[in-house]
Structure 1
């Protein structure tokens, strides 16, 4: 694990045990200054628990983390650090009766709102209306405005594009890339893998509470082999798919597709030895890459872990408002 002095987030053996469920199990990683870090995993993997630990909304069972230099076990230091943090929770705790404008006024009074108008032009929530009239997408856009409007050094987001339409998702992606170029550090969990591929510099993959991978997106794709689609005769397909390194061949009318993790020269030699009508070789879909780490099924304990997350979320509306305004 890299532990540079300037790392905005450093997790060191972070563990959270709810008793029946080990939500985080000795999780260690560092996020570099000015990078976009994607935190990924299947439902119940422990992503939201990690985020709440980093923000001091939960206390670790073991281990610790530093966020902008503050130890998360030091409430005074972490409270001071959170003035430089933007936070977008998965479950927004806005008052249903308040207007979007009132919500932004409240947060602005607590931590500043120098970029408020700029962000409202980009994300366009209907701030004159009460929150109870908001769609899921409008709530999320209001949350994005409040998370970034005080120009934080670090922004932590839990599923930031949930509910956004495709145009707003792309606007968000472009905005995050611009923020990274300005030096802002962005840490977010996501299930939108195409989004991860477009905006993240590195990813950490969490499964059953444990960190199973920490790598750049480009390196993950490169190491996961090539996606190959071949149009050829049945005899040619049989010989090509017999090569070492062929993974998950799937037949279709006129050919076969598979992931190839072997020697590329050997594949090219095999293709050249047959009457191949057409061939496509490219990077594997990112969904296939992450499926390798997620597995085809969630473990039975993950349902329990989600239940623990929901129990913690039961009191999170107030906690999240406090974290946002800290």
Structure 2
């Protein structure tokens, strides 16, 4: 397993933690990355989401110079990744998506080996992380389940408190409780000023963890936005009932609203009821219904996952319009 984790060094530079410019990677005639560009500020959590095969792992391996780019360039912590010598690598914690561990020794001995290569670990740090994750370090690695091996990988990435954490599908194999423990570690790293770059195909995980998110499809970034900005434009399902109004009158009042789609108005006892999907701002909707005598109103939490999945599946022209809007 590539080893890129070590103790953090202080760095007061205000330059971004990662700058990627027009990254292109081709495997023969297959274009795995197609002009990918993004910037990750220091002390932030940057998430990349996309379906399997979108290019998430390729981006990470290219950033760390584990595979060479066809064209484009990237800097990590102010250093060109192609010139990533031991000094830079010691400031990076890496958890690969395909975790391969020596199986004949205990987890404790394996972590001690990594610490000997990349530098000292704060006293008690390994045991603290293992306790939080429920990991027995004295068991032989080959006897561990997939989830416990993943925990061991998380410990090796976090134990040195590196300046930059690069985590590929970090919660793979973890149960929901341990996923929340992991998200707590990410939040603590951000609070400590560390930068976290992580990938996932689990949208809810990115929604909880990230400050910014890049949506990746077929080796291209569809959009980069703050999680809150995505939530503001996300899909809300709504249901309402009103008295002293007909279905036709309710439809006439609601249908002109921007961002209101799949509107259905039906007669109801004493009035009418409506269901709709809202993709725009909620204020115009509230203003439109304010004169009505409501008997029921339910507006669901914005569904970021549904919005992102629509971006995955939309044709190119429609995706471009959605991103610009």
Fold in common (TM above 0.5): yes
Take 1:35 and 1:269, find their aligned partners in 2: how far apart are those partners?
A: 37
Take 2:24 and 2:32, find their aligned partners in 1: how far apart are those partners?
A: 7
Take 2:181 and 2:53, find their aligned partners in 1: how far apart are those partners?
A: 28
Aligned 8 A contact 1:87 1:157 in 2: yes
The alpha-carbon deviation at position 282 of structure 1 amounts to: 5.1
The structure number with the bigger radius of gyration is 2
1:13 matched to 2:22: yes
SS across alignment from 1:278: strand
Take 2:102 and 2:281, find their aligned partners in 1: how far apart are those partners?
A: 56
Question: Cα RMSD (Å) of the superposition?
Answer: 2.6
Partner of 1:300: none
1:243 matched to 2:256: yes
Match of 2:306 among 277, 281, 288: 288
1:258 matched to 2:306: no
The alpha-carbon deviation at position 275 of structure 1 amounts to: 5.1
Q: 1:238 to 1:155 in 2, by over 3 A?
A: same
The alpha-carbon deviation at position 248 of structure 1 amounts to: 4.2
Aligned 8 A contact 1:39 1:206 in 2: yes
Deviations, residues 133-179 of structure 1 (Å, cap 9, x unaligned): 21221111111100011121110000111111111111111221111
Take 2:265 and 2:91, find their aligned partners in 1: how far apart are those partners?
A: 53
Take 1:181 and 1:164, find their aligned partners in 2: how far apart are those partners?
A: 23
The alpha-carbon deviation at position 113 of structure 1 amounts to: 2.5
SS across alignment from 1:212: strand
Deviates more, 1:141-150 or 1:247-256: 247-256
Aligned 8 A contact 2:247 2:265 in 1: no
SS across alignment from 1:29: strand
The alpha-carbon deviation at position 270 of structure 1 amounts to: 3.8
Aligned 8 A contact 2:215 2:221 in 1: yes
Higher relative contact order (Cα pairs below 8 Å, separated by 6+ residues): 1
Aligned 8 A contact 1:37 1:188 in 2: yes
The alpha-carbon deviation at position 49 of structure 1 amounts to: 0.1
Match of 1:222 among 232, 235, 259: 232
1:157-172 map, 5 Å: 157-172=167-182
SS across alignment from 1:119: helix
Aligned 8 A contact 2:43 2:193 in 1: yes
Q: Structure 2: where are the runs of 5+ without partners?
A: 1-12, 316-325
Partner of 1:321: none
Take 1:78 and 1:54, find their aligned partners in 2: how far apart are those partners?
A: 13
Take 2:137 and 2:14, find their aligned partners in 1: how far apart are those partners?
A: 40
Match of 2:60 among 48, 51, 68: 51
Q: Structure 1: where are the runs of 5+ without partners?
A: 298-326
Aligned 8 A contact 1:237 1:256 in 2: no
Q: 1:95 to 1:236 in 2, by over 3 A?
A: farther
1:68-107 map, 5 Å: 68-74=77-83, 77-107=84-114
Match of 2:71 among 62, 68, 71: 62
Take 1:102 and 1:209, find their aligned partners in 2: how far apart are those partners?
A: 38
Take 2:86 and 2:75, find their aligned partners in 1: how far apart are those partners?
A: 12
Take 1:134 and 1:251, find their aligned partners in 2: how far apart are those partners?
A: 56
Q: 1:235 to 1:275 in 2, by over 3 A?
A: farther
TM-score computed with the length of structure 1 as normaliser:
0.81
1:170-319 map, 5 Å: 170-224=180-234, 226-231=236-241, 235=248, 238-239=251-252, 242-244=255-257, 245-249=259-263, 255-261=274-280, 264-265=283-284, 267-272=285-290, 274=292, 276-281=294-299, 283-295=301-313
TM-score computed with the length of structure 2 as normaliser:
0.81
The alpha-carbon deviation at position 228 of structure 1 amounts to: 2.5
Q: 1:249 to 1:288 in 2, by over 3 A?
A: farther
Aligned 8 A contact 1:177 1:199 in 2: yes
Q: Identify, as 1 or 2, the structure richer in helix.
A: 1
Aligned 8 A contact 1:16 1:61 in 2: yes
